[in-house]
Chains A and B, each alone.
Chain A
Amino acid sequence: MGGLSVVFWKEMADYFGSRRFIILFLLICGIGAAAVYIAGQTIASELARVPSEYAFLTLFTSHGRTLPSFVSFLGFFGPLIGIILGFDAVNSEYSRGTISRVLAQPLFRDSWINGKFLAGLATAAIMLVSIILIITGLGFRMLGFGPGGEELSRLAVFFVISVIYVGFWLSLGILFSVLLRRTTNSALACIAVWIFFAFFMFMIAGVIADQVAPIGPKSSTEVLARHEHIKDMIMRVSPTTLFGEAASAILIPSFRGLGLIASLLEAEIPTNPLSLGQSLLIVWPQLVTLIGLIAICFAISYVIFMRQEIRST
């Protein structure tokens, strides 16, 4: 384990000292704070009319007129954090010629790659916790009250979900950095996957659902439900959708389920909030799938890396 912690601390120090990390961090903090600021203004005026039990959490999920909500914003840019932390983890060591020097030291190969992954995950976690804290502080000031006990624990769960989500993109980045020898190629491959899941999945799901269960103005409710269901299931291939669903269910206590039921909420049918345990039950499958995806990506990169020949030229 000694080797792992040495690698871990070295990689952490590298991340926090690197320019691209600082730029990314400032950018995401800035946009996140802006999203919440706009949302806060809307909430503050609404709260004057209808007081709500979980007002503080709506800061994260409601969107202003010009900016998307913080959750959907994280759904878009969370991948970027993971990819930037992971895309050149292994192949840059090949191209710099440092890998053969480091692996000639008494250090297990798996300690090295595990140390890198854990350092990336810890960096992402620190980044996310600071963004969430900044937003909480900002919300405190704008709304004039802080989160309650239940809200705090929901925020903690939301934090864990975000780390898992970013962790998936990190492991995907590491996978490409093991598979492809050039850092530019691995970066492009990661971004391609990100764009596919974030933008195209939505269109593909729509097209397939239209083919399987075509709907028109006179369609019955069953057909409509089936159409929506198929679309949802296809969308759930994308980690971005999984994260969006999980985060919404945790941050909006009145969420009773996903898919069609979620639209009850949009129709403003009043529902009673669920307890945290119940909300967790709803998103359990989403969480397990995300963790499974991390495990798959990391296992593949691990196996390939362990068999790779360490030659820097």
Chain B
Amino acid sequence: MSLVVETKNLSKHYNDVKAVDNLNLQINEGEIYGFLGPNGAGKTTTILMLLGLTEPTSGEVRVFGYNSTREPLKVKRITGYLPENVGFYEDLTARENLRYIARLNRIPDKESKRKIEEVLSKVGLLEVADREVSKFSRGMKQRLGIADVLIKDPKFVILDEPTAGIDPEGAHQILEFIAKMSREQGITILISSHLLHQVQRICDRVGIISKGKLVAQGTVDKLGTEIVSKGQTMLEVQVSELTPKLLEAIKQIEGVNEVTSSGNLLRLRCTRDLRAEISRTIWENGGFLLGLRSQDYTLEEIYLRYFRE
């Protein structure tokens, strides 16, 4: 498998602030890579350097083997970019906006006419193609942004916070579409996001960035098991009545590391699966077990763990 993106000790400093600090990132061809981190972690800065829109302080970026800093045009020709808060020329129609981008990519008008129809119908905006963009909703604009990216037949697509500010259903649609795009056309995709639970579903691999550094990288499963091997299981327990005696009894169970309670809800951090012991303890202390859920390793926890460290 060949590398689509490769960065070597990539750094970007703004005065004294290290926005990106010795980042080594590798993205394989055809995969969906989730680039995750809180706001201000350096995600957008990294993306700008991938596209040659910002010069790195040190280090090197290569996209399909082209140096982004020195040959940005070659990179931009094959890379589609959907910026965060994508904007359109509001007084032009969706079709006119796309035509401008097609012309900038030197797609002849004859060909782009067909192409625009094609991408608009793919994202479900064909009926509103001749409506001014100022009348579009946020979700529609985001879909138009994806159409805009697809118009140049990219081999690699960068999506910066594609689901931010969109209702769950719209976000779901967009993510489904992204997954489909990768599957059917073999496009390599980089999704940057701070909303893990949304993104983790479709990512082949994720990288977690914090304060400009890549703190973890791998498949979601792999990152999950890494945490399990450190002996962490989360249980959520709901009881009929939480008496101090019961709380004390649960804390006494061997293997329970941490207990937090709110109302009748308990959150336990255990070294192993203790569901049987816990339900017995509750029964023995005269309470009823109303709910018991072992939490899956969502990226959320992986993520929070890394940021706590």
Contact A97 B85, CB 8 Å, known A10-B100, A104-B53? yes
In the complex, which range does the number of interface residues on chain A fall in?
A: 20 to 34
Q: Pick the contact of B51 from A3, A102, A104, A107 — CB < 8 Å?
A: A104
B73 touches A101 (CB 8 A): no
Give the chain A neighbours of B90 by CB distance below 8 A.
96
Contact bitstring A60-79, B, C-beta under 8 A = 1, else 0 = 00000000000000000000
Q: Does A42 contact B (CB under 8 A)?
A: no
A309 touches B48 (CB 8 A): yes
Q: Does B200 contact A (CB under 8 A)?
A: no
A313 touches B84 (CB 8 A): yes
B48 touches A101 (CB 8 A): no
Measured CB to CB, the closest approach of chain A to B247, in angstroms, equals: 46
Q: Pick the contact of B73 from A98, A108, A310 — CB < 8 Å?
A: A108
Q: Does B76 contact A (CB under 8 A)?
A: yes
Which residues 137-154 of B have a CB within 8 angstroms of A?
Answer: 145, 148, 152
Q: Pick the contact of B86 from A3, A97, A106 — CB < 8 Å?
A: A97
Closest to B99 in A: A10
Give the chain B neighbours of A311 by CB distance below 8 A.
44, 48, 53-54
B87 touches A101 (CB 8 A): yes
Give the chain A neighbours of B82 by CB distance below 8 A.
101
B48 touches A106 (CB 8 A): no
A2 to B44, alpha carbons, bound, how many Å?
Answer: 29
Stretch at the interface among B101-109, B220-228, B259-267, B298-306: B101-109
Q: Does A185 contact B (CB under 8 A)?
A: no
A105 touches B105 (CB 8 A): yes
A101 to B83, alpha carbons, bound, how many Å?
Answer: 7
A98 touches B104 (CB 8 A): no
Q: Does A100 contact B (CB under 8 A)?
A: yes
Q: Does A103 contact B (CB under 8 A)?
A: yes
Closest to B75 in A: A106
Q: Pick the contact of B89 from A2, A98, A100 — CB < 8 Å?
A: A98
Q: Does A17 contact B (CB under 8 A)?
A: yes
12 contacting pairs across A/B (C-beta < 8 A)? A18-B91, A96-B89, A98-B89, A101-B83, A102-B100, A104-B76, A106-B73, A106-B77, A106-B106, A311-B54, A312-B85, A313-B84
Measured CB to CB, the closest approach of chain A to B74, in angstroms, equals: 8
Which residues 87-102 of A have a CB within 8 angstroms of B?
Answer: 96-98, 100-102
Give the chain B neighbours of A107 by CB distance below 8 A.
73, 76, 104
Give the chain B neighbours of A105 by CB distance below 8 A.
76, 101, 104-105, 152
Q: Does B88 contact A (CB under 8 A)?
A: yes
By a beta-carbon cutoff of 8 Å, the part of chain B in contact with chain A is 44, 48, 51, 53-54, 73-74, 76-77, 79-91, 100-101, 103-106, 145, 148, 152
A7 to B116, alpha carbons, bound, how many Å?
Answer: 19
Give the chain B neighbours of A133 by CB distance below 8 A.
none
A97 touches B53 (CB 8 A): no
Total A-B residue contacts, Cβ distance less than 8 Å: 79
Closest to B54 in A: A309
Measured CB to CB, the closest approach of chain B to A20, in angstroms, equals: 12
Closest to B100 in A: A10
Contact A104 B83, CB 8 Å, known A309-B53, A309-B54? yes
Contact A310 B48, CB 8 Å, known A101-B83, A101-B148? yes
Give the chain B neighbours of A7 by CB distance below 8 A.
104
Q: Pick the contact of B104 from A17, A100, A102, A309 — CB < 8 Å?
A: A102
Apart from A101-B83, A104-B80, A105-B76, what 15 extra A-B contacts exist at CB < 8 Å? A10-B100, A96-B89, A97-B87, A100-B53, A100-B83, A101-B82, A104-B53, A106-B104, A106-B106, A107-B73, A309-B48, A311-B48, A312-B83, A312-B84, A313-B85
Closest to B141 in A: A97
Measured CB to CB, the closest approach of chain A to B212, in angstroms, equals: 16
B105 touches A106 (CB 8 A): yes
B87 touches A96 (CB 8 A): yes
Give the chain A neighbours of B87 by CB distance below 8 A.
96-98, 101, 312
Closest to B14 in A: A309
A310 to B51, alpha carbons, bound, how many Å?
Answer: 11
- Among A2, A14, A108, A311, chain B packs the most CB atoms within 10 A around the CB of A311
Q: Does A6 contact B (CB under 8 A)?
A: yes
Give the chain A neighbours of B79 by CB distance below 8 A.
104
A101 touches B86 (CB 8 A): yes
Which residues 79-128 of A have a CB within 8 angstroms of B?
Answer: 96-98, 100-108
B76 touches A17 (CB 8 A): no
A100 to B45, alpha carbons, bound, how many Å?
Answer: 13
Measured CB to CB, the closest approach of chain B to A146, in angstroms, equals: 41
Contact A100 B88, CB 8 Å, known A309-B48, A310-B53? no
Give the chain A neighbours of B53 by CB distance below 8 A.
100, 103-104, 309-311
A101 touches B101 (CB 8 A): yes
Measured CB to CB, the closest approach of chain A to B305, in angstroms, equals: 28
A104 touches B81 (CB 8 A): yes
Give the chain B neighbours of A17 by CB distance below 8 A.
91
A3 to B81, alpha carbons, bound, how many Å?
Answer: 18
Give the chain A neighbours of B89 by CB distance below 8 A.
14, 96, 98
A107 to B51, alpha carbons, bound, how many Å?
Answer: 12
Measured CB to CB, the closest approach of chain A to B91, in angstroms, equals: 7
Closest to A112 in B: B104
Closest to A17 in B: B91
